Structure 1
Amino acid sequence: MNADQRMTDVDSWRRLPAAQQPDWPDPDALKGVLEELASYPPLVFAGECDQLRERIARVAKGEAFLLQGGDCAETFDAITADQVRDKVKTLLQMAAVLTYATSVPVVKIGRIAGQYSKPRSRPIEVRGDLTLPVYRGDAVNGQEFTAEARRPDPERLKRMYHASASTLNLIRAFVTGGYGDLRQVHEWNRDFVNNSPIGARYEALARDIDRALTFLAACGADPGEFHLAEFWSSHEALLLDYEAALTRTDSRTGHSYDVSGHMVWIGERTRQLDHAHVEFAASVRNPVAVKLGPSSTRDDVLGLIDRLDPEREPGRLSFITRMGRDKVRDVLPSLIEIAAEAEAPIAWICDPMHGNTFEAATGHKTRHFDDVLDEVAGFFEAHRGLGSHPGGIHIELTGDDVTECVGGGHPIGLTDLHRRYQTACDPRLNRYQALDLAFQVAELYADRTAPAIPRPRIAQAA
């Protein structure tokens, strides 16, 4: 099958409105890049996507928990071995805590190896007398506020492909080369507990994990799962030209797969039922997810289910809710009930980041750790009240010691934001905050029968 035939298979979305697409200045250059991308090898394989769909099916059935995390927007200069390693390490540490606390497998998915574009609220940015296209991620243009950098360049799509391939190679090497070893991961977590200002709160859980591992070792139990870790890639399927160019027909089944990542999702700004993103997602066999904000309606939920999962197949469709701490308890329960009435086996995932963003007096966009935790608590409360399964969390995080979100066990104040504010777009939890969150989510999961009490909100004063 040639490149033109491959792209025709997923061309139906081109007849529909497509939000958040770049205004590429040279259509011929774009066409040439897409034809070249269509000839490239897959970044992931259809069989791997099928395996992930099976893992998410267990989440939908209440038999597993999903942890999804990574950068808000990846950048081409942040694919060093150290940076990729530290993100993977942080997610593995979080997963180890959650696995023990939940007593179910944790499906580990990175926002990684493809998260190079971002939807934006405005198409332009104005600074003084100069108006330029907004930065849409390294896949489209550069962060520098110059006409040359902000000009959309389709050659960046090829660079995204190669950067994603490099990242996936590193991840596979790390998870098979010792970083997936459960005992090693637990040692890292013990160091975190010993060095955290609030580590005493987590000592009991860390001690229980240590005893469990010691008991298994004494019994001579050494399953392969202790040394290896499954790790999947995901990103927002925002740039439809790129996603379509990397769609292939599986020779085993004849189905189309988006081989740019194992799982793709549709964002809150692009989930219109009669628009191109939903049409594209309906045409591929990958597990897919949709972000749902507080304005989501019954028609939205039912329409997305019927369009994306008409066969009601467990593992096919996840809803990632992003409500905000003030709205999650009021809005989420009715959406869960609507899906249940439709007999849809949804994996419900909580994104506590995007609904809790505010601007500090310094001009930095930030989030408060307590708000993030409170939305997760509200998510658990909603499921607890309905007897449904809180399927997982979706977090923007980094393995670096950045100062982008305030609060947490290693407290960061509003006046600290400037110290290491490095994100290309939205603020991320640093590794200490991410691990703090994992331990507290573990407590919420273990105490699902008791009402969660939100922690008091710390004032957002400079």
Structure 2
Amino acid sequence: MTEWQKSAWREKPRVQMPDYTDDSALKAVEAQLSKYPPLVFAGEARSLKRDLAAAGRGEAFLLQGGDCAEAFDQFSADAIRDTFKVMLQMAMILTYGAKVPVVKVGRMAGQFAKPRSAPTEAKDGQELPSYRGDIINELAFTPEARIPDPKRMLQAYTQAAATLNLLRAFSTGGYADVHQVHAWTLGFTESEKAAAYRDMANRISDTLDFMKAAGLESDTNHNLRTVDFYTSHEALLLEYEEALCRLDSTSGKWLAGSGHMIWIGDRTRQPDGAHVEFARGVLNPVGLKCGPSLTADDLKVLMARLNPSNEAGKLTLIARFGAGKTAEHLPRLIEAVRSEGANVTWVCDPMHGNTIKSASGYKTRPFDAVLREVRDFFAVHRAEGTVPGGVHFEMTGLDVTECTGGVQAVSDENLSDRYHTACDPRLNASQSLELAFLVAEELTSHRTALAANG
């Protein structure tokens, strides 16, 4: 294969990307971005790769979560804090269930572009280009708002930089203290509706009390006060990705400087397409969304393209089939991986295959369908003797009403109360924590079954 160039994707077929009308404005933005500092650093990406390799071996577990699409008008320090807070709570619950470290990766500081099922949308007899995320155009349904504007990349960069700055402060400044995180979780389990999860919460309390009695206090133990927190997004807008690509002087390899981990969506994984071409050349860990239409042969080609040296931690396969379909599709892809001897980390995305239109007209995701896909994912890996390496959720720390079900019993009638997403429905804080407890139960069962089988 020819030596990789960061601009080589421009010679490949492109999908799900805008056609900018002002080429000179686009080139000016790309030139400006190319002078900006990278948002992440090569050493951080290598650390995440090591952590994902551990998850692939069952020695860690990936928790990846955050916004469907970050919005400029919803950007605030409180929103970042609330999502970070819930992810820490989820991670603590999963750590207890898995008995291994949890790798925390946010869909944050870069998740601005969204693939769409159609290039246009119609409303009240008017047809306009689809909204493709704030980095490309605006949500407002007007001809002017839907024109792709390259200057929006500069605003996305600024918001991503500010988000990362705050995340780094939260991660190392004491906000992530393990005792504080657990105190937040206890507040959730005190409600009558969450009583089913109180036993596990109490067991975590007992463990922390034992650690305190043994002298393992957070004020003297750095590991109890800080966390490693990484960022990720779908690398959809390749002009932005290329402009932030930087040569790592340590390794001589190229870094996607837009985020620690990038992924390729189910709509952009063409083996000879632009997105695969870009992702194959960066040193970052790369995710690949695997939907029902992915064939075993295409997966083999994609694994060879995206991870030619078969490096552990490099490639994460994110299964997203829909409730009731995992048992049909996941085993054949596992067999393709096994036949190639490929190093991959298997992750479950139970959100994207379970989007429905409610009777009230809102897009939603039933909590029960999300949970069923997670359970099916674990069941297949138990049957195949393979490792369930993590979960990938669209969620927020805000008290939204976008997915139905859960202990809050969000109903179809409640969806309009606090439906704030610009694209797809997200789990709210309560639903995210409930799902963490249920995934922790699956992890505990999985480890028990492994121990019983020797």
Q: What TM-score, normalized by structure 1, do the two folds share?
A: 0.94
Letter paired with 1:247: C
Corresponding position: 1:16 with 2:12: yes
Is the partner of 1:355 in helix, strand or coil?
coil
Offset at residue 158 of structure 1 (A): 0.6
Offset at residue 425 of structure 1 (A): 0.1
Q: Which runs of 5 or more structure 2 residues have no equivalent in the other structure?
A: 450-454
Corresponding position: 1:45 with 2:41: yes
Q: Within 1, Cα distance between the matches of 2:164 and 2:296? A: 38
Offset at residue 161 of structure 1 (A): 0.4
Q: Is the 8 A contact 2:56 2:389 kept in 1?
A: yes
In the other structure, the counterpart of 2:239 is 241
In the other structure, the counterpart of 1:322 is 320
Query: 1:220 aligned to 215, 219, 222, which one?
Result: 215
Over 3 Å counting, the alpha-carbon distance change for 1:323 and 1:196 in structure 2 is farther
Q: Is the 8 A contact 2:350 2:374 kept in 1?
A: yes
Further displaced range: 171-180 or 252-261: 171-180
Query: 2:196 aligned to 180, 183, 201, which one?
Result: 201
Letter paired with 2:137: N
Q: Within 2, Cα distance between the matches of 1:118 and 1:71? A: 11
In the other structure, the counterpart of 2:23 is 27
Further displaced range: 414-423 or 123-132: 123-132
Corresponding position: 1:89 with 2:116: no
In the other structure, the counterpart of 1:166 is 162
In the other structure, the counterpart of 2:177 is 181
Superposed counterparts of 1:55-74, under 5 Å: 55-74=51-70
Letter paired with 1:286: N
Offset at residue 11 of structure 1 (A): 1.3
In the other structure, the counterpart of 2:269 is 271
The C-alpha deviation readout for 1:164-187, integer Å capped at 9, x for no partner, is 001101111112222211110000
Q: Is the 8 A contact 2:98 2:447 kept in 1?
A: no
Corresponding position: 1:210 with 2:208: no
Offset at residue 23 of structure 1 (A): 1.5
In the other structure, the counterpart of 1:5 is none
Query: 2:186 aligned to 190, 195, 204, which one?
Result: 190
In the other structure, the counterpart of 1:447 is 445
In the other structure, the counterpart of 1:129 is 125
Offset at residue 9 of structure 1 (A): 3.5
Letter paired with 1:217: K
Superposed counterparts of 1:138-153, under 5 Å: 138-153=134-149
Offset at residue 108 of structure 1 (A): 0.2
In the other structure, the counterpart of 2:114 is 118
Query: 1:259 aligned to 257, 271, 279, which one?
Result: 257
Letter paired with 2:390: G
Q: Is the 8 A contact 2:263 2:287 kept in 1?
A: yes
Misfit runs of 4+, over 2 Å = none
Q: Within 1, Cα distance between the matches of 2:203 and 2:430? A: 21
Corresponding position: 1:156 with 2:152: yes
Q: Is the 8 A contact 1:196 1:410 kept in 2?
A: no
Q: Within 2, Cα distance between the matches of 1:195 and 1:23? A: 51
Q: Is the 8 A contact 1:409 1:433 kept in 2?
A: yes
Letter paired with 2:107: R
Q: Within 1, Cα distance between the matches of 2:444 and 2:259? A: 32
In the other structure, the counterpart of 1:458 is none
Query: 2:281 aligned to 277, 280, 283, which one?
Result: 283
Offset at residue 450 of structure 1 (A): 7.9
Q: Within 2, Cα distance between the matches of 1:182 and 1:377? A: 28
In the other structure, the counterpart of 2:334 is 336
Q: Is the 8 A contact 1:16 1:276 kept in 2?
A: yes
Q: What TM-score, normalized by structure 2, do the two folds share?
A: 0.96
Offset at residue 127 of structure 1 (A): 1.3
Over 3 Å counting, the alpha-carbon distance change for 1:196 and 1:119 in structure 2 is farther
Is the partner of 2:171 in helix, strand or coil?
helix
In the other structure, the counterpart of 1:457 is none
Q: Is the 8 A contact 2:79 2:398 kept in 1?
A: yes
Offset at residue 126 of structure 1 (A): 1.2
Q: Within 2, Cα distance between the matches of 1:111 and 1:49? A: 15
In the other structure, the counterpart of 2:452 is none
Number of matched pairs: 443
Offset at residue 109 of structure 1 (A): 0.1
Q: Is the 8 A contact 1:367 1:405 kept in 2?
A: yes
Offset at residue 449 of structure 1 (A): 6.6
Is the partner of 1:150 in helix, strand or coil?
coil
Further displaced range: 299-308 or 230-239: 299-308
Letter paired with 1:202: Y
Q: Which runs of 5 or more structure 1 residues have no equivalent in the other structure?
A: 1-7, 452-462
In the other structure, the counterpart of 1:4 is none
Q: Within 2, Cα distance between the matches of 1:104 and 1:185? A: 18
